[in-house]
Amino acid sequence: MTTIPKLELHLHLEGAAPPGFIRTLASRKGVDLSRIFDARGAYAYRDFPDFLRVYEAACTVLTSPQDFHDLTLAVLEHSAEQGVIYTEAFLSPDFCGGGDLDAWRDYLAAIEAAAAQAETDMGITMRGCITCIRHFGPDKARAIARCAQESAGRFITGFGIAGNEAMLQPRDFAYAFDAAREAGLGLTAHAGEWGGPESVRAALRDLRVTRIGHGVRAIEDPALVDDLAENGVVLEVCPGSNIALGLYPSIAAHPIDRLRRAGVGVTVSTDDPPFFHTTMTREYQALAEHFGWDTPEFDAIARTALEAAFCDADTRAAIAQRLEAQ
């Protein structure tokens, strides 16, 4: 499983920070973060709102471009060990200088330098998808969209929205998404995780995204499932995340295989792997064990991910070659 070449479209850079990495920074900076870890040193949270609180607390010790450089290298090293050859990481300027454009440029330079080093040393290609955070509100999102506009190019290829889907509406973020679209960025939105089918419809209608982060609750509306399949909307599905956060009781109850069988473009990602005790290999193993996925299914999700990736044509062709070489 580990050696199957994998593409990951949904990975939050800060959410991928190993707990030990955050603990080391906290002790170096004299910050007491003991409340966010359990007795074994793993991230400890009760439910989704508490997860967001713990996540944001962990981010408080990521305070410099050097921290993000080191984080990017650590995360990409781990991904490369899982057979990931292409990863689109969600980058949040909110946690990199609070959305200030000059600060963001410094953070981005550090992240991009680490990504270039990882590509040379470990053979993993990373692209960035700038992400605003829903519960921080539309004004913050506009500032984040400006960061995205200013940095759109070969490395920054997308724009998205994460955070608490229960707050505000996609249309509140239309301005930010319009700005990102005008800058030529690919668009994705977290929806259909804590909101139902109407939340997915609203993201498609009001933000005009081509991909949906999660989107799994579309399964509750067969007409929406048909629309997704017909319109080629691709879902960034993160089964381990959905199970760890209590959306589904088990992989057996997860709708990924039903969505795939209905013709929806599904891909597989880990979201925030250390929070959910998962890896890309573990996700693949669970899909093989519970749904009998094998080479045809794994090839298909890699091809779907490659087509839906927001990278430029040269990068897509290079990744396609690596897939074919396997």
The secondary structure element, H or E, covering residue 162 is: strand 156-162
Judged by CB under 6 A, the residue of 128, 163, 273, 274 near ligand ADE is 163
Sign of the torsion formed by the C-alpha atoms of 33, 35, 37 and 39: positive
Residue 133, classed as helix, strand or coil, is strand
- The site partner of 78 among Zn ion, ligand ADE, none (C-beta below 5 to 8 Å per kind) is none
CA distance 162 to 168: 12
Judged by CB under 5 A, the residue of 67, 165, 271, 297 near Zn ion is 271
Mark the segment that binds Zn ion (CB under 5 A) among 70-78, 225-233, 245-253, 271-279: 271-279
Please give the residues from 163 up to 222 whose contact with Zn ion meets the rule CB under 5 A: none
Query: Tokens for 96?
Result: 């990199």
Asked if 72 and 111 count as a contact pair (C-beta separation under 8 A), the reply is: yes
Judged by CB under 6 A, the residue of 8, 88, 272, 297 near ligand ADE is 272
Judged by CB under 6 A, the residue of 162, 225, 256, 264 near ligand ADE is 162
The answer to the question of residue 69 lying near ligand ADE (CB under 6 A) is no
Q: How far is the CB of 230 from ligand ADE (least distance, A)?
A: 26
Q: Where are the alpha helices (H) located in the chain, listed in sequence order?
A: 19-29, 48-59, 65-81, 101-122, 138-151, 174-182, 197-207, 222-231, 239-244, 256-261, 280-291, 295-308, 313-324
Please state the φ and ψ torsions of residue 210, each to the nearest 5 degrees: -100, -15
CA distance 268 to 82: 13
Please state the φ and ψ torsions of residue 29, each to the nearest 5 degrees: -100, 5
Residue 273 DSSP class: G
CA distance 121 to 74: 12
119 classed as catalytic:
no
Judged by CB under 6 A, the residue of 9, 15, 129, 192 near ligand ADE is 15
Asked if 29 and 61 count as a contact pair (C-beta separation under 8 A), the reply is: yes
- The site partner of 254 among ligand ADE, Zn ion, none (C-beta below 5 to 8 Å per kind) is none
Please compute, for residue 45, the number of CA atoms within 13 A of its CA located in the half-sphere on the CB side.
20
Asked if 284 and 4 count as a contact pair (C-beta separation under 8 A), the reply is: yes
Q: Which is nearer to ligand ADE, 36 or 319 (CB)?
A: 36
Q: Which is nearer to ligand ADE, 190 or 201 (CB)?
A: 190
Q: How far is the CB of 240 from ligand ADE (least distance, A)?
A: 11
Mark the segment that binds Zn ion (CB under 5 A) among 99-107, 140-148, 270-278, 310-318: 270-278
The answer to the question of residue 12 lying near ligand ADE (CB under 6 A) is yes
Per-residue string for binding with ligand ADE, 186-205, x by CB under 6 A? ----x--x------------
Q: How many residues bind ligand ADE (CB under 6 A)?
A: 9
- The site partner of 193 among Zn ion, ligand ADE, none (C-beta below 5 to 8 Å per kind) is ligand ADE
Q: Of the listed 193, 236, 283, 297, which one is catalytic?
A: 193
The answer to the question of residue 88 lying near Zn ion (CB under 5 A) is no
Q: Interface residues with Zn ion (CB under 5 A)? A: 271
- Catalytic residues, by residue number, are 193
Q: Interface residues with ligand ADE (CB under 6 A)? A: 12, 15, 162-163, 190, 193, 241, 271-272
